[in-house]
Structure 1
């Protein structure tokens, strides 16, 4: 069971046990972190925006064009670490993944 390290908007660190096969968005929501995810994980909003720690960027699959477009439209976009958590499937290789919740849009 991978552990995800999530930093909330107040700067508090949370160590979250994650089931493989879930999206990162589901892990964050299931652990009561403030992720709206109003589209339910369909990649049609950006309310699950996170910043992935630089040393984890190469461990993730590349962004699909629709994810890239949505996240780039956010006023809190950061080239590189900005990702939509609904588009990151949890796998064993992500054990220790570190993300920070982006400010709400």
Structure 2
């Protein structure tokens, strides 16, 4: 299991655990993290799972992919914005810190 620290829009920090290969979105939904709507179910068809990756982790998480990039233009995009459905858990993300965006579209 991989430990992820989510900071909910309220400021509450929730430490959760996900399996390698799960997305951040799946992990958040299964763990009851608040603020992620995930209206498309994780197929990169909306932007309702917008999160902000802690800047210290961006190199390990990586940049948005070509499907995700235009969807991020629909939200209040930051340099560290990602759609949580597109970030897959892997061992090198152990301890990742993620802030759920205050507003989902």
What TM bracket, shorter-length normalisation? Answer: over 0.9
TM normalised by structure 1 equals 0.93
Report deviation, 1:62: 2.8
| Structure 1 SS opposite 2:67 | helix
Separation in structure 1 between the aligned mates of residue 66 and residue 88 of structure 2, nearest angstrom: 17
Partner of 2:33: 33
Unaligned runs of 5+ in 2: none
Report deviation, 1:61: 3.3
Report deviation, 1:21: 1.1
| Structure 2 SS opposite 1:65 | coil
1:55-99 deviation per Cα after TM superposition (whole angstroms, max 9, x unaligned): 00000133112201101221x211x21000000000111001000
Partner of 2:49: 48
Q: Figure out how many residues of one structure are paired with residues of the other and give that number.
A: 103
Unaligned runs of 5+ in 1: none
Report deviation, 1:100: 0.3
What does 1:1-105 align with in structure 2 at a 5 Å threshold?
A: 1-34=1-34, 35-74=36-75, 76-78=76-78, 80-104=79-103, 105=105
